[in-house]
Amino acid sequence: MFRALQCPLEEDLSSFTRYLRSQGVVHRVTEEGNQQVVWTRDEAGAHFARECYAEGVPQTPDIRPAVRNRGPSGSAGWMQTARGIPLTLGVLLVTGVVALLTGLGSQVDGVVMFTFVPPENSEYMASQIDLGQWWRLITPIFLHFGLMHLAFNALWYWELGRRIELRSGSLWLLGLTLLFGLVSNSVQWLFSGQPFFGGLSGVLYGLLGYCWIYQLMAPNVHFALPKGVVVLMLVWLVLCLSGLVTLLGFGAIANAAHVSGLLVGCAAGLVAGGSQRFGLSR
């Protein structure tokens, strides 16, 4: 936890803490001597709390009565967090179910239910997209081939998806996920010419690009990614493009999905972040 600020013991921080919660800033308040201390989970949250306290809490409608602080509760905190990110959790749940149905890519009969094109017969896949089964344009994002593949993508969707959902809402994250999934799947199929690909990584690079460029255009506490995250993901992308990752035994990499996801994510972040910056500057 990061020590964000100290306040007099007699000061009422209820409006301040409600506003922090509404903005998705995980925090707690403790007493030390004759002072209240506000703690946040990370430095970005601490910076946001200090600025908010210095400038004054924005006037926002109180949509529910204040609840007296009864001390930390792990289960209550988790439920509060879960209510704020239903789409992130829903995508992870569907991904987990598909992993079970397909045996993490080992059960072909299960895998072909989610491939970009449907099976033509018992031995071959169709050579063209079947728009009558339009959901296949998206479903490859739920396919994962191995436990490491699943764990890596799930952790990054949790990290990036919840940031966007807390900042912009569930419908916005849904729209971005569908957009990045559609683009990355389509480009991967066009470039590879084979239907057996999958994973959330194209979407993840889209979400990364979105947060990265949005933060450059209109900084906010939610998209302040930990130092080195963008560099790490870009280095991994370059290693995948070089073929080194495949040579090391990590399997075939959907490079076209990664690159196209990143590019469309950066474009979306530029538009959304630019719009936010223009709106704030007026």
- Please, what is the Cα angle at 248 between 147 and 259, to 5 degrees? 75
CATH class of 2-72: alpha beta
Task: Report the candidate in 11, 6, 49 with the shortest Cα–Cα distance to residue 27.
Answer: 49
User: What CATH code is assigned to 83-281?
Assistant: 1.20.1540.10
Give the 3-state secondary structure of residue 31.
Answer: strand
Report the alpha-carbon distance of residue 118 to residue 129 in Å, rounded. 8
Chain centre to alpha carbon of residue 3: 26
Which of 144, 149, 168, 201 is flagged as catalytic?
201
Q: Could you read off the pLDDT tens digit of each residue along the chain, which spans 282 residues? A: 678 888 887 788 888 888 888 777 888 888 877 788 888 877 777 878 888 888 777 655 444 444 444 444 455 556 766 778 999 999 999 999 999 999 998 899 899 999 999 988 767 888 888 889 999 999 999 999 999 999 999 999 999 999 999 888 999 999 999 999 999 999 999 998 888 899 999 999 999 999 999 988 888 778 888 778 888 888 888 888 887 777 766 667 888 999 999 999 999 999 999 988 877 543
**Does the annotation count 122 as an active-site position?**
no
Which of 184, 222, 258, 260 is flagged as catalytic?
258
Asked if 144 and 95 touch (Cβ cutoff 8 Å), the reply is: yes
Where does the chain hold its CATH 3.30.70 domain(s)?
Answer: 2-72
- Please, what is the Cα angle at 271 between 270 and 277, to 5 degrees? 85
Where does the chain hold its CATH 1.20.1540.10 domain(s)?
Answer: 83-281
Report the alpha-carbon distance of residue 17 to residue 95 in Å, rounded. 34
Residue 41 main-chain phi, psi, to 5 deg: -75, -30
pTM for this model (two decimals):
0.72
The terminus-to-terminus CA distance of the chain in angstroms comes to 36
Give the 3-state secondary structure of residue 261.
Answer: helix
Looking up tokens 């919660």 gives: 21
**Does the annotation count 201 as an active-site position?**
yes
Report the alpha-carbon distance of residue 15 to residue 28 in Å, rounded. 14
210-232: b (≥16 Cβ within 10 Å) or e: bbbbbbebbebbbbbbeeeeeee
